[in-house]
Amino acid sequence: MGVNKTNDNINAFSEVDTATASEIQTQNVEWLYEGYVPLGTVTLICGDGGEGKSFYALALAAAISGGKPLPGTYKAFPASDVIIQNAENPWPSVIKPRLEMLGADCTKIHRINENDKRLTLTDSRIEAAIRKHNAKFIIIDPLQSHLDLNFSMNRAESVRPALTHLERVAEKTQSAVLIVGHINKGRGKAQHRGLGSVDIVNSVPSVLYLGRAEGLDPDVRAVAHGKSNFAELAVTQLFRLNKTDGFRWLGESDITPDDIMRFNASRAREDKGKLDEAVEFLMEILSDGEVPAVEASEQAEEMGISKITLERARKSANVKSKRVDNRWVWHL
């Protein structure tokens, strides 16, 4: 007796959950930060370490908490609660003082406590905290500190599901998530310079690049829009960051993400040249035996070699240190 496969197929087809385009209600894109940070999804900001990405994120948080306008916008987003998860800086001595300096309403700034359990991108506490405070802006800084321990940033199958989950949370709560990420030390186009899999950049709808560029003062940074699935790329914004003035917006610029990446690559090559010079210096002065550490440091300073570069060169050249007659000496 034959099996009626036709009826089985019909039943299987009828159980498939589908949606027809004519039944889907179209929606306009809504923005937390017009043109730069859309609501209901995830935005990524990339840059080299120490360039001010975390400070920039806090500047956005401060403005959102106080309902203050951001550069390039005509009106401010209504004052809203913000959740900040920063794994690199302590709150009492860094995060809160910066927020206060930026004029944030700290009654609207929150964090999810991680005393008992580290927070990851797929953690249910993110959505719970958003709903608890009706938060509209969530900062996760940096990306790599909030991935599951079994995930690899270099594998698309690890990163994309976590980002997809976070995007769904943002969509359900109509909040904006900003993820802070680093760039690698390579060369090439901006979209290929994110630390980890290129799928990280590919899977989010809005990507910003932050850093220095040729012609800018040393304490000025550019934030250039490199990707937007919802609108034309927004104009680049500049800000100044130093100990004297703190954080200050400077206005618009025509700097591109690739300009930032080129400057970063050039500086990396320059740093490598300085390191090579410092290694050569150490090999030369230590070739005949031990040298007092103080003397070596003074000679290096006279040659224009910074303390940081000298320490990196010591590690690279495998220079050892030991105490002899109450003073430290270096030797190969």
Architecture of domain 28-254: 3-Layer(aba) Sandwich (3.40)
Q: Do domains 28-254 and 264-331 have the same CATH topology?
A: no
Architecture of domain 264-331: Orthogonal Bundle (1.10)
Find the angle CA(206)-CA(220)-CA(262) to the nearest 5 degrees.
Answer: 60
Q: In one letter, which amino acid is 252?
A: E
Label the pairing between strands 82-86 and 246-253: unpaired
The region of weakest confidence among 189-198, 210-219, 272-281 is: 189-198
The region of weakest confidence among 53-67, 95-109, 194-208, 235-249 is: 194-208
pLDDT in tens, 6-25: 666 666 667 788 889 998 88
| 247 beta partners | 241
Question: What is the pLDDT, as a whole number, of residue 316?
Answer: 82
Mean pLDDT over 23-41 rounds to 93
Taking the C-alpha atoms of residue 318 and residue 308, their distance in angstroms, rounded to an integer, is 15
pTM greater than the 0.85 cutoff: no
Question: What is the pLDDT, as a whole number, of residue 187?
Answer: 46
Mean pLDDT over 249-276 rounds to 84
* Domains of the chain by residue range: 28-254, 264-331
Most confident of 145-159, 202-216, 284-298: 202-216
Question: What is the pLDDT, as a whole number, of residue 194?
Answer: 47
Q: DSSP letter string over 166-235?
A: HHHHHHHHT-EEEEEEEB-S--S-GGG-BSS-THHHHTSSEEEEEE--TTS-TTEEEEEEEEESSSSPPP
Taking the C-alpha atoms of residue 172 and residue 188, their distance in angstroms, rounded to an integer, is 36
Average pLDDT of the chain to the nearest whole number: 87
Question: What is the pLDDT, as a whole number, of residue 135?
Answer: 98
| 206 beta partners | 43, 228
Above 90 in pLDDT, residue 106? yes
pLDDT in tens, 37-70: 999 999 999 998 889 999 999 999 999 999 999 9
**45 or 245, which is more confident:** 45
Residue 167: how many other CB atoms lie within 10 Å? 17
Mean pLDDT over 96-103 rounds to 97
Label the pairing between strands 137-141 and 82-86: parallel
Q: DSSP letter string over 46-108?
A: EE-TTSSHHHHHHHHHHHHHHT---TT-SSPPPP--EEEEESSS-IIIIIHHHHHHTT--GGG
Burial letters 191-221, b for 16+ CB under 10 A, else e: bebbbbbebbbebbbbbbbbbbbeebeeebb
